[in-house]
Amino acid sequence: MTQQTFKSAKRRYHRVFWPLMAIYAVIVIAGSYGLKQLDPEPLWLQATLAVACALPVIATLLVMMRYANETDEYTRMIQLRGLAWGGIMTTSVIFLIGFLQLFHVVDRFEIFWFGPFFFFAYGLSTLILNGGRHC
Amino acid sequence: MKNIIRALRTERGWSQASLADELGVSRQSVNAIETGKYDPSLPLAFAIARLFGKSIEEIFDDETEAKLAAE
CB within 8 Å: B24 and A5: yes
What's the rounded Cα separation, in Å, for the pair B27 and B43? 18
pLDDT of B65: 63
pLDDT of B67: 64
Q: Under CATH, which number does the domain B5-70 receive?
A: 1.10.260.40
What global pTM score does this model have? 0.84
- Residue B50 has a CB neighbour count (10 Å cut-off) of 13
A17-52: per-residue pLDDT in tens? 999 999 999 999 998 888 888 877 788 988 999 999
Selecting from A1, A7, A74 the residue whose C-beta is nearest the C-beta of B28 gives A74
| Cα B48 to Cα A10, B24, B60, B68, distances in angstroms | 22, 11, 10, 26
Phi and psi at A9, nearest 5°, equal -65, -40
What's the rounded Cα separation, in Å, for the pair B8 and A57? 44
Q: Which of B1, B23, B39 lies closest to B9 in space, CA to CA? A: B23
Query: Which position has the higher pLDDT, A4 or A16?
Result: A16
Q: Name the residue of chain A whose CA is nearest to B43's CA.
A: A1
pLDDT, average across residues A48-68 = 95
Within 8 A of A4 by CB-CB distance, chain B residues are: 21, 24
Q: What is the DSSP string of B1-26?
A: --B-HHHHHHHTT--HHHHHHHHTS-
* B window 37-66, beta carbon within 8 A of A: 38, 40-41, 43-44, 46-47
B6-17: per-residue pLDDT in tens? 999 999 999 999
What's the rounded Cα separation, in Å, for the pair A14 and A4? 15
Give SS3 for A135. Answer: coil
Q: Would you place residue A1 in the very low, low, confident or very high pLDDT band (cuts 50, 70, 90)?
A: very low
pLDDT of A2: 45
Residue A99 has pLDDT above 50, yes or no: yes
Q: Does A13 touch chain B (CB under 8 A)?
A: no
B31: which residues sit within 8 A by CB, 6+ positions away? B16
Q: Name the residue of chain B whose CA is nearest to A5's CA.
A: B24
| Cα A98 to Cα A22, A90, A120, distances in angstroms | 33, 12, 20
- Verify cis geometry, omega within 30 degrees of 0, for the bond prior to A40: yes
